[in-house]
Amino acid sequence: MSARPVKRSLTLRGHRTSVSLEDAFWHAFREIAAAEDKPLNVLAAEIDEKRGIEAGLASAIRVYILQYYKDRLLPAPASVTGGDGQAS
């Protein structure tokens, strides 16, 4: 796999755009889209809608991929509430 970013075209809500990601991220992005049963363009559009204006789309996709796998690998944090539902 190449460590250099590879530019590919995506269509977000009818608008063509290019995104540069490393091969490992493209592979993970396609894998996530398949697991979520969504076309890559649809998943990219969802990420684009949620990203802040200060983040580029490529960065937002990388963060999404990291968070996706992190959520699946790390156990959920222990509850901080007591038996009565109140915070300790």
What percentage of the chain has pLDDT greater than the value 70? 85
Residue bearing the bigger pLDDT, 82 or 74:
74
CA atoms within 13 A on the CB side of 18: 5
Tens of pLDDT, residue by residue over 25-55, are: 999 999 999 999 999 999 999 999 998 888 8
In terms of Cα–Cα distance, which of 37, 21, 40, 36 is closest to 71? 36
CATH 1.10.3990.20 fits 6-73, yes or no: yes
pTM: 0.80
Reported confidence tier of residue 81, pLDDT bands at 50, 70, 90: low
Residue type, 69: Y
Q: What is the pLDDT of residue 1?
A: 61
